[in-house]
Amino acid sequence: KMAEKQEEPSNAQNGEADNAEEGEGKKKKLKREDLPPFEIVTGERLPAIFFKFQFRNVEYSSGRNKTFLCYVLETQGKEPVTSRGYLEDEHAAAHAEIAFFNTILPKCESSLRYNVTWYVSSSPCVTCADRITETLKKNKNLRLTIMVGRLFMWEEPEMQAALKNMKSAGCKLRIMKPQDFEYVWQNFVEQEEGEEAKAFVPWEDIQENFKYYEEKLAEIL
């Protein structure tokens, strides 16, 4: 079962390259070989069922041990470029936050400015938080805003310290409001083909949970 699960994402990738434009396809294929197998092709949308389960801002997140990271990357130079996509992690490999820096934005050109917004199902673990802090300290031309559905292990002193370090390195950390979940739903989640886009349906405790986590985050930071 496990081995079979491991296979899936890589097959999806190989299929994807064929219908890309010719030149693009070749370039993408080359790069894709050296990506870890969990890597998700950017620009695709995540299945609604994943969104409904993983992004749910519940307090007890049992079984929600995967991170889904939707990003909007704005590169400001002579010709501004905006790209978006999503990554998810398989915990055997890198976490999605680190995958973003390794594959989507491996280097920041000093002549450009980067505005990055992440919409993440839960806040980063200590290791990822440290990597975010280091990256922001190294690249003064990188602005990062992280919108999170839930706070991960926020009672742990080590985790609280890591979040504070991210803040002092210039990272904006916010809890996702109902409108932010709706934004992700509209922009990053697969809609059934041929149907009208389905409206986002908030879960009943979405607002209370947002308030709960917002208070916790304010206390930490």
Q: Cβ contacts of residue 156 below 8 Å, gap of 6+?
A: 126
- Asked about 97 being catalytic, the answer comes back as yes
List of E strands, the chain: 68-76, 81-88, 113-122, 142-150, 172-175
Active-site pick, 16, 22, 74, 97 = 97
The strand pairing partners of 81, in sequence order, are 75
CA atoms within 13 A on the CB side of 51: 23
* Biggest distance spanned by C-alpha atoms of the chain: 52
Which sign, positive or negative, has the C-alpha torsion 177, 71, 100, 113?
negative
The strand pairing partners of 143, in sequence order, are 115
Quick one: tokens of 144?
Answer: 């990062």
Quick one: tokens of 77?
Answer: 């130079």
Residue 131: strand, helix, or coil: helix
Q: Are strands 142-150 and 113-122 parallel, antiparallel or unpaired?
A: parallel
Strands ordered across the beta sheet of 172-175: 81-88, 68-76, 113-122, 142-150, 172-175
Q: Just list the catalytic residues.
A: 97
